[in-house]
Chains A and B, each alone.
Chain A
């Protein structure tokens, strides 16, 4: 039994099912990556796990408890962190204020956590008093990830964290995500850049039309000729 799992999820927006019996799971310290063609329901699966989408079949389990009925806000309190793909920072707030807002639900002293985030992303410490809207795309993504880390989540979910950043910044960002996973956090992410993502993945899920098509280790998926041919461009 995995630490976090969405089991047999079926559901979608307004009556039309996008996910069909889809299962995604990730363990602490692991990176699980969801890849697949456009419209495969990657982001939808992520949203379903985070409670932003109703599923009428299946369930979401976190640490042995059924959290299917919790709202996204309550899932944050239960230890899940979510980084949306778009609009994932408060643009008019400074970097530091963004992190403070990430820690909004915490009543204890979170200066340690902020120091950890600054250690992980040194550039943010430098720009702490600058509005997040003035940062580059890569730096913004760092703010977004940092904001989600402020609650000290046990699970970190990232929706296309490398969308729109340069290849160098992407590698750097993925390195940081590995670091987060090594610290014992379960990392689940959706990625457009399938090859790079599977490279760092402990587990990979290839979705096609809302169904699990291939599920294996990242390495095995990269080696699988069928996956290579259909999804990785040969």
Chain B
């Protein structure tokens, strides 16, 4: 019995809790990708670097606050800097739209042209971020680190295994839930939100109804900027900030958006968790976990790790390929790419 409990605690500590936090971060990222796809009808490859840009601004403002001694202990100062990061990212995305995408909208370019343009935007944003903050790892988390430490957990329960819950993980989940509820309320209940759904559903009819495409596009970029900055900051707090990692996040984020059904916000959230849990469960070494559950003579000698963590991006990639082959519309019937 105690072995079973220990196995559950071990699994929670190394799989459930981290995957849930990671899933929420991916979900927020995928929501941004899916919204842009739904309204502007192209896959925005610059989303990962948009996240990096927003997080960079948050970090810079956080450092500035820290230097002035402003803090909201026990919460990380980055939360206080978040609105500034969001505003700066909104500015960046609206400027990008004015300078790049608006031109192609006027030309009525096919989606693939937009995708290629977004690849260019991605490189530029990537350059800006590295130019300003450098390519290295930045740690900006402060405040209390843990809600529950493994040692305290062991002491209070008397178990052999400990459960750690980081503040950043709890914050990620809490903020993600609030953001998702706010976003759905906006899309389902407000006139502007409904007009965005109408525009995504049937552009011609939306035009006939007097819905202004430029306004819808602007609001989409504003929301995408907020989502990207929040997702990036939460990811950075949970792990660390490195521009290249954010570029790499693009793959799991797209996998998440497509698994759920691209263009469908609910799908983006489900997809985020599907990808996160697949990645973490497949790259977790089950040796210790199985040792608790199996009789002594069946205990594994190897790590029982299906895939090395070095190959974790392969998981997103396989999911992506499988979904596109078997069910291109995704779980929640999004648009076919």
Contacts and interface: CB of A to CB of B under 8 A. Distances in A.
Interface of A: 72-73, 76-77, 82, 84, 87-93, 97, 100-102, 104-105, 147, 151
Contacts of A97: 194, 197-198
B208 A92 contact: no
Contacts, number: 55
A63 to B, nearest CB: 19
Given A100-B191, A101-B195, A89 B205 contact: yes
B93 to A, nearest CB: 25
Interface string B194-237: 11011001101111111100000000000000000000000000
A104 B202 contact: no
Contacts of B205: 84, 87-90
A93 B208 contact: no
Given A93-B194, A97-B194, A104 B201 contact: no
Interface of B: 191, 194-195, 197-198, 201-202, 204-211
Which of B191, B195, B197, B208 is most buried by chain A, counting CB atoms within 10 A of its CB? B208
A84 B211 contact: no
Q: Looking at chain B's contact residues, is the secondary structure mostly helix, strand, loop, or mixed?
A: helix
Given A87-B202, A90-B202, A91-B201, A101 B207 contact: no
Contacts of B208: 72-73, 76, 82, 84
B191 A87 contact: no
B209 A147 contact: yes
A97 B193 CA distance: 11
Given A93-B197, A93-B198, A104 B204 contact: no
Nearest to B203: A87
A101 B204 contact: no
Contacts of A151: 210
7 contacts: A77-B210, A88-B205, A90-B205, A101-B211, A104-B195, A104-B211, A147-B209
Nearest 3 CB-CB pairs, A to B?
A105-B210, A90-B201, A101-B198
Given A87-B202, A90-B202, A104 B210 contact: yes
A84 B194 CA distance: 21
Contacts of A92: 197, 201
Given A76-B208, A84-B205, A87-B204, 10 more contacts: A72-B208, A73-B207, A77-B210, A84-B204, A88-B205, A90-B205, A91-B201, A101-B206, A147-B209, A151-B210
